[in-house]
Amino acid sequence: MTFKKYIFKNLWLQVVISLIVGLSVGLILGDDVGMGIDDENLDFATSYLKIPASIFVSLIYMIIVPLIFSSIVVAVNSLGTTEKLKTLGLGVASYFVITTTIAILVAVFLASFIAPGNILDISALQESYDLSDKDMKINEGFSLDDIPNAVANIIPKNPITSYLEGQMLSILVFALIIGLSMTAIPKESSKPVLDLLESIQKITLHILLFSMKIVPFAVFGLIVGMVSKIGLESMAGLGVYMITVVLGLGIMLSVYLIILKLVAKRPISQTFSKFRNPQTVSFSTASSMATMPVTLKTAEEELKIDNRVSKFVIPFGTTVNMDGTALYQVIAVFFLAQLFSIELSPLAILVIIITSLLASIGTPAVPGAGTIVLSTILITVGIPPVGILLLLSVDRILDMIRTMVNVTGDLTACCVFDKITRNKIIDKK
């Protein structure tokens, strides 16, 4: 494959290139080291450069609700399909909720402690992107008085109103209730709706993959604007944000080591070295779904997991268990909240925790999906989703690492449930 073809095939490389070119053009246009073009002309140029970004944000708004709704219902139904394993299913689901909650709490701690968003100046984004007042409108923070209302509103009285008003948490809870109810009724009754939702999921995913093609241009416009007006230091916060995410993901890997040792009772280094193949594939593809065949093979052939366990835990985990993604999403939300100077009250943090738990279940296991689904949490807390573009400019490397953590989490779960169920299944033989 020629280098040109390689670039065309790899979106992440296009984003990296547009980031570098955007940085250079921004420096040339700006007055730090470059030509120092006057503000009026610069504003004119940026107003054109921001067109791809606006199109991208609109496309994401358009598909996010059907995408995440269908993904959650389909994911929950994958739990119900394996009738025989219903008991194992509940145990595995609870385990996934626990590990994802640990990941989220690690993220809340790191993001509050390091506060990466306080380093980058909001004016950088505001000025360069010429955000309208509407974009910058920040929802009122939550207060204690809001708790009764907030709790009551989580269950949507009218799902259509929740949709129209962008009450994402209610939509996620609605999806969960529908998904769980579908597993409780006979399969022939739920199948038509499941088929329809699977089809909606595929269609919206297709639009998502298509809209990702705009990202290199959107990132280029955003970065040129930021760097030309503010200079290179505007990018420093992004570095600290990336370090915070990588640190959090490293902590999650250590949590898995502890679980392997204490719960699965496996030798740490020997087991971890057997994770190597799926870890490498997930790192290079940034997709847990694409890695799934290798993950399954490793679980059965290298880790000698009972295949009744692996055949359930790996596909189910690939779809719903994304500790790396949840951790990343929470750090990203805090980063953007700090960037937009949005005070996060304890209730808002609680809402972020619940929303990100559900959002990570609804994140499709494909490259970059975690960042798109992030818009769900941003809308809930009232953070302008345009900030996503800033994150997308440095997303690929974080996506590779968090996908590797997602897959490691699934393999660890396999080891845990192999240990827990081994005796039970053997007893039943």
287 scored as a contact of ligand ASP (CB under 6 A):
yes
Site for ligand ASP in 182-211 (CB under 6 A): none
CB 400 within 8 Å of CB 11 = no
For ligand ASP, which stretch binds (CB under 6 A), given 115-123, 231-239, 250-258, 368-376?
368-376
412 counts as binding ligand ASP under rule CB under 6 A: no
Asked if 16 interacts with ligand ASP (CB under 6 A), we say: no
Eight-class DSSP state of 34: S
Q: Provide the Cα torsion 73, 75, 76, 79; round to 10°.
A: 150
Q: Which of 257, 279, 276 is nearest to 268 (CA)?
A: 257
Alpha helices in 115-186 (DSSP H): 122-129, 133-136, 147-154, 159-165, 168-184
Interface with ligand ASP, residue 402, by CB under 6 A = yes
Residue whose pair of structure tokens reads 């939300």 in the numeric block: 333
Pair 324, 252: CB distance under 8 Å: yes
Size of the site for ligand ASP (CB under 6 A): 16
Q: Interface with ligand ASP includes 385 (CB under 6 A)?
A: no
DSSP state for residue 139 in the 8-state scheme: P
Half-sphere exposure of 167 (CA within 13 A, CB side): 20
Give the residue nearest to ligand ASP (CB): 370
Region of 210-218, 226-234, 348-356, 360-368 interacting with ligand ASP (CB under 6 A):
360-368
**Would you give the binding string for ligand ASP spanning residues 315-334, x where CB under 6 A is met?**
-------x--x---------
363 binds ligand ASP (CB under 6 A): yes
- Which one, of 55, 57, 29, lies nearest residue 42 by Cα? 29
- CA dist 294 and 274 (Å) reads 12
> Which C-beta is closer to ligand ASP: that of 74 or that of 366?
366
396 is an interface residue for ligand ASP by CB under 6 A: no
Q: Show the tokens assigned to 90.
A: 């509940």
Positions 91 through 120 that interact with ligand ASP (CB under 6 A): none
The minimum distance between CB 148 and ligand ASP, in angstroms, equals 34
User: What are the helix (H) ranges across 81-137?
Assistant: 86-114, 122-129, 133-136
Under the criterion CB under 6 A, does residue 367 sit at the interface with ligand ASP? yes
Report d(CA 259, CA 38) in Å as an integer: 58
* Smallest distance, ligand ASP to C-beta of residue 132, A: 29
- 263: tokens are 């719960």
- With CB under 6 A as the contact rule, the residue among 116, 216, 362, 368 that binds ligand ASP is 368
Nearer to ligand ASP, 117 or 324 (CB): 324
* Interface ranges with ligand ASP (CB under 6 A): 286-288, 322, 325, 363, 365-370, 399, 402-403, 406
